[in-house]
Amino acid sequence: MEKEQEVNENKQELNENKKEAHEKLQGNLLIGQGGGPTSVINASLAGILSKAKQNEGIHNIFGLQNGLEGIFVKELFTLSKEDDEFIEKLKYTPGAILGSSSYKVDDPDKEAELIKFFKDNNIKYFIYIGGQDSMKSLDHISKVAKKSEYDLKVIGVPKAIDNDIPITDHCPGYASAARFIAESTIGAGRDLEATKSYDDVAIMEVMGRNSGWLAAASSLGRKTVDDAPHLIYLPEKEFNEEKFLQDVKEIYEELQFIFIVISEGIKDTEGKLIADKDPEGPAKYLTKLLYQEMGLKGRVHKLGAMQRSFAFSTSQIDVDEAFMVGQQAVTDLENGWSDIMITLDRASGKDYYVVTGRTHLAEAIKETKNMPKYLINPEGNFVTYAYYQYAYPLLGKELPNLARLSGIPVILT
Amino acid sequence: MEKEQEVNENKQELNENKKEAHEKLQGNLLIGQGGGPTSVINASLAGILSKAKQNEGIHNIFGLQNGLEGIFVKELFTLSKEDDEFIEKLKYTPGAILGSSSYKVDDPDKEAELIKFFKDNNIKYFIYIGGQDSMKSLDHISKVAKKSEYDLKVIGVPKAIDNDIPITDHCPGYASAARFIAESTIGAGRDLEATKSYDDVAIMEVMGRNSGWLAAASSLGRKTVDDAPHLIYLPEKEFNEEKFLQDVKEIYEELQFIFIVISEGIKDTEGKLIADKDPEGPAKYLTKLLYQEMGLKGRVHKLGAMQRSFAFSTSQIDVDEAFMVGQQAVTDLENGWSDIMITLDRASGKDYYVVTGRTHLAEAIKETKNMPKYLINPEGNFVTYAYYQYAYPLLGKELPNLARLSGIPVILT
């Protein structure tokens, strides 16, 4: 509990919106899932359900079908009767079980319809699990309700494999995607090393339009200089082709193979996306460049939608935290909060320790969190040890120590 | 032991090449890894090492660097001193730790050099872990040695994610690749279901030029009619576009989304590869076709090299069996065998049970094993229950039961 105290003391206090003594909840709760699925977005739903079911003031628990679209097609799931066995399975179920969409509430007709729907169905509480776009929609819906003088409490639960929501130490969903990317890099790296008589280079292309959090995660399985990845390029730093060729040359000469990870969003010195240089994508463009300039034969790995859907590399810490933020959203409703997003706050110190906190929705949507400078090396081609310290504990159980032969080959007759 | 007896009784006896009373081994052992890595090719090496280290007649254990290429660059790993900790780690290390290549011994100069190399280094025993091409090379090397009157014993240890070597019930490496494909399908299937407001169809493209074993494995996580995959197309059956469109229509109308798995090697009614119809591959071609003919929006998943390199979905049964065939190769050398490949033989009956067996190399390389008819449904668009019975036990621990909502959405006001 000492740690918990420390975290709370470090936190900015929120004084608005919090009622001094909370009144008993009275009405129906609506839950939605927005944006792309993650390995643990259903664990957050499980957390909400497990807690909401215990509150007698919440009469019905409804689930939106396909995000905000569900409000307008007026088809809802009734979740009140789902049992503990369902909730336990849900923690480990990939996808977004309610369905998702990019549907927005953005014109007066829709707004009126939304308020009518909430009134007609006595929905007084709305918890939305999603990324920054979903938090923006939630903030907007809350404002529409206020304008209509409809008493609605809204709470946001973050999820993002991109890890780009500010204020929270990290986003539920990131840790599992990071673990999958680290494991994929270990495997594909060993594969290249085993088949370096076929190919010289592998380039793995990872999600991340503006931020390099996912690409950075490829570093987490690296234990020796031979291990992949050898270079990582992120959107936060400009990508210089000359420098890139020099980086590759140095490492290739030493190892006779090289494994590179790039974010899909890397940009050249003029701010132009490398992705725009080739219809087959930036990794393909760079393998062609390496072949042309240095004669290196390359292969490409694109992790694609696996980054958010492969749920068998789930980090147990991620599952537990996603569940925890879900539960906390209900607790915060019970304590009279509204217009906030639940956060994960990390204690300083040697051991990893987080508690839930909260921030105004307005703060959570103000800007996008890219990787800060101190997590990227000055050369802009790898992460720093500080990133490793930040991200490694999120992965849950440690990544394995793999076998390495003890000697270099001997020359025989 | 009853089961073991049954398997042995069912097995064709091999009478050639087996010496009645085995003489003590005397000389050096060479081990190589050929072809593409698998999740467990190193586990077979671990099995060989663990057993060979105990035999005092084997003076040195050498490892080829990069498959047969190692013989000609004359760089070998000395493996005799690797300890038990290394061997234990090796069981779970992806890649092929000795390195691999597609190098062949195919001209008289090379053959003479090979025999000289074996003589100079007193190599009397050669165990080669690989697919059918490697078994062919091994058979050839044995013949070259015989022609040169050089006393060399050779034993093949199978590996193939494609599962296409005959006689053995299955190939080490298949089970882990199958598990990964099943898990990927579960995740990507739930992802599509969650985002069916964005896309209607997903097509996953899986390895398999001639055989559908890997694509078939996508079925193994399916537990309800909603679960992916809904259709599977394999190279063993001709692919008819008209029939395909009809198949898709029926399922899409019922579910409002559809997940399809295809082998990269599916061919049309004239025997032409679907892959040849589009530079972006057969899955992309078919998503375009579905959009054009039915207006369905599609996404593509290509699992690529992950199928052989993602070693964190390893089947424990696969690891154990790969280790076992490696150990058996040394035992068979000790018992005087040569020119054979180790096999896995399954007992009939309710419970999964395998023992190692052996076959002449000549039998193992005679033909490639595609999926037999009874494992594919008559319509040619899914596997049969018999496939499920064949493959499911290979996966090791069971695939999880995931959450499903108990009701369909209710219409609200």
- Residue A351 neighbours by CB distance under 10 Å: 7
* Axis crossing angle, helix A174-194 with helix A316-334, rounded to the nearest 10: 170
Q: Specify if B408 maps to a domain.
A: no
Query: Phi and psi dihedrals of B81, rounded to 5?
Result: -95, 0
A336: phi > 0 → left, psi -120 to 50 → alpha, else beta; which? Answer: left
**Do residues B157 and B270 share a domain?**
no
Per-residue model confidence (pLDDT) at position A3: 59
Q: Specify if B402 maps to a domain.
A: no
List, as one string, the DSSP characters of A3-72.
Answer: HHHHHHHHSPP--SS--SSPPPP-EEEEEEE-SS--SSHHHHHHHHHHHHTT-TTEEEEEEESSTTHHHH
Residue B169 to chain A, least CA–CA distance (Å): 26
pLDDT tens profile B141-191: 999 999 999 999 999 999 999 999 999 999 999 999 999 999 999 999 999
CA separation for the pair B295, B17 (Å, rounded): 63
**Do residues B303 and B317 share a domain?**
no
CA separation for the pair B215, B162 (Å, rounded): 10
What residues of B are in contact with residue A311 (Cβ under 8 Å)? 183, 186-187, 190
CA separation for the pair A376, A338 (Å, rounded): 36
- Average pLDDT of the segment spanning B353-360: 97
Tell me the torsion sign for CA atoms B271, B272, B274, B275. Answer: positive
- Average pLDDT of the segment spanning A51-57: 96
**Do residues B320 and B290 share a domain?**
no
Per-residue model confidence (pLDDT) at position B2: 58
Contact A304 B309 (CB under 8 A): no
pLDDT tens profile A72-128: 988 889 999 999 999 999 999 999 999 998 888 989 999 999 999 999 999 999 999
CA separation for the pair A387, A377 (Å, rounded): 10
Angle at A364 between CA A361 and CA A366, to 5 degrees: 105
pLDDT tens profile A295-331: 999 999 999 999 999 999 999 999 999 999 999 999 9
Q: Specify if B410 maps to a domain.
A: no
Residue type at A347 in one-letter notation: A
CATH number at residue B203: 3.40.50.460
Per-residue model confidence (pLDDT) at position B412: 66
Active site residue B320: no
**Do residues A152 and A201 share a domain?**
no
Q: Specify if A351 maps to a domain.
A: yes
pLDDT tens profile A162-182: 999 999 999 999 999 999 999
**Do residues B20 and B32 share a domain?**
yes
Catalytic residue, candidates A139, A162, A332, A345:
A162
Q: Are A376 and A26 in contact (CB under 8 A)?
A: no
Beta strands in A173-281 (DSSP E): 201-206, 231-233, 258-263
Q: Which residues contact B195 (CB under 8 A, 6 or more apart)?
A: A36, A37, A96, A99, A100, A101
Query: Phi and psi dihedrals of B252, rounded to 5?
Result: -60, -40
Q: Which of A33, A89, A401 is nearest residue B403 as measured by Cβ atoms?
A: A89
Catalytic residue, candidates B162, B164, B247, B345:
B162
* Axis crossing angle, helix B41-52 with helix B316-334, rounded to the nearest 10: 40
Please check the confidence at residue A1 and state whether its pLDDT lies above 50. Answer: no
Q: Is the peptide bond before B235 cis (omega within 30 degrees of 0)?
A: no
Which position has the token pair 């973050």?
A158
Domain span at residue A331 reads 2-172+311-364
Residue A363 to chain B, least CA–CA distance (Å): 28
User: Which own/partner pairs from B13-18 qualify as long-range (CB within 8 Å, at least 24 positions apart)?
Assistant: B14/B340, B14/B358, B14/B359, B14/B360, B16/B360, B17/B336, B17/B337, B17/B338, B17/B339, B17/B340, B17/B360, B18/B335, B18/B336, B18/B337
Q: How are strands ordered across the β-sheet holding A58-64?
A: A354-360, A340-346, A153-158, A123-130, A27-33, A58-64, A75-78, B410-411
Helix residue ranges per DSSP H, A121-161: 132-147
- Residue B310 neighbours by CB distance under 10 Å: 30
- Domain total for chain A? 2
Q: Which of B309, B402, B412 is nearest residue A190 as measured by Cβ atoms?
A: B309
- The per-residue pLDDT of chain A, averaged, comes to 93
**Total residues belonging to chain A:** 413
**Do residues B236 and B342 share a domain?**
no
**Do residues B114 and B234 share a domain?**
no
Query: Phi and psi dihedrals of A197, rounded to 5?
Result: -80, -15
Q: Are A178 and A313 in contact (CB under 8 A)?
A: no
What residues of A are in contact with residue B65 (Cβ under 8 Å)? 409
Beta strands in B293-406 (DSSP E): 298-302, 340-346, 354-360
CATH number at residue A126: 3.40.50.450
Please check the confidence at residue A6 and state whether its pLDDT lies above 90. Answer: no
Pairing status of strand B340-346 against strand A410-411: unpaired
3-state SS assignment for residue B281: coil
Per-residue model confidence (pLDDT) at position A409: 73
Per-residue model confidence (pLDDT) at position B7: 60
Q: Which of A78, A305, A413 is nearest residue B188 as measured by Cβ atoms?
A: A305
Please check the confidence at residue A19 and state whether its pLDDT lies above 50. Answer: no
Residue B20 to chain A, least CA–CA distance (Å): 35
Please check the confidence at residue B371 and state whether its pLDDT lies above 90. Answer: yes
Per-residue model confidence (pLDDT) at position B15: 46
Contact B186 A311 (CB under 8 A): yes
CA separation for the pair A357, A11 (Å, rounded): 8
Residue A194 to chain B, least CA–CA distance (Å): 4
Q: Which of B319, B333, B321 is nearest to B127 (CA)?
A: B333
Q: Which of A188, A193, A308 is nearest residue B305 as measured by Cβ atoms?
A: A188
Q: How are strands ordered across the β-sheet holding B58-64?
A: A410-411, B75-78, B58-64, B27-33, B123-130, B153-158, B340-346, B354-360
Q: What is the DSSP letter of B293?
A: H
Angle at B203 between CA B202 and CA B209, to 5 degrees: 170
Query: In the structure encoding, which two tokens stand for residue B247, read together?
Result: 């198949």
Residues 40-59 of B with CB under 8 A from A: 42
Per-residue model confidence (pLDDT) at position A15: 46
Q: Specify if A409 maps to a domain.
A: no
**Do residues A87 and A150 share a domain?**
yes
Per-residue model confidence (pLDDT) at position B16: 45
Q: Specify if A407 maps to a domain.
A: no
Q: How many CB pairs under 8 A join A and B?
A: 219
Q: Specify if A145 maps to a domain.
A: yes
**Do residues B317 and B305 share a domain?**
no
Is A82 annotated as ligand-binding? no
Contact B197 A301 (CB under 8 A): no
Q: Specify if A405 maps to a domain.
A: no
pLDDT tens profile A265-303: 999 999 999 999 999 999 999 999 999 999 999 999 999
**Do residues B39 and B81 share a domain?**
yes
Q: What is the ipTM of this complex?
A: 0.94
Residues 105-144 of B with CB under 8 A from A: 117, 120-121
Pairing status of strand B231-233 against strand A27-33: unpaired
Contact B93 A309 (CB under 8 A): no
Contact A309 B190 (CB under 8 A): yes
Is A208 annotated as ligand-binding? yes
Q: Which of A70, A67, A48, A153 is nearest to A117 (CA)?
A: A70
Q: Is the peptide bond before B229 cis (omega within 30 degrees of 0)?
A: yes
Please name every residue paired with B157 in a beta bridge, in sequence order, or none if there are none: B129
Q: Which of A37, A82, A312 is nearest residue B183 as measured by Cβ atoms?
A: A312
pLDDT tens profile B390-412: 999 999 999 999 999 987 777 66
**Do residues B234 and B149 share a domain?**
no
Annotated binding site of B for substrate: 207-209, 264
Residues 372-401 of A with CB under 8 A from B: 400-401
**Do residues A183 and A260 share a domain?**
yes
Q: Are B345 and B354 in contact (CB under 8 A)?
A: yes
CA separation for the pair B27, B120 (Å, rounded): 12
Cβ of A338 under 8 Å from any chain B Cβ?
A: no
Contact A301 B305 (CB under 8 A): yes
3-state SS assignment for residue B317: helix
Q: Which of A151, A253, A164, A241 is nearest to A200 (CA)?
A: A253
Residue B383 to chain A, least CA–CA distance (Å): 23
CA separation for the pair B239, B243 (Å, rounded): 8
How many Å separate Cα B340 from the centre of its chain? 19
Cβ of A86 under 8 Å from any chain B Cβ?
A: yes
Tell me the torsion sign for CA atoms A320, A322, A323, A328. Answer: positive
Tell me which chain A residue has its CA closest to the CA of residue B43.
A403
CA separation for the pair B357, B14 (Å, rounded): 10
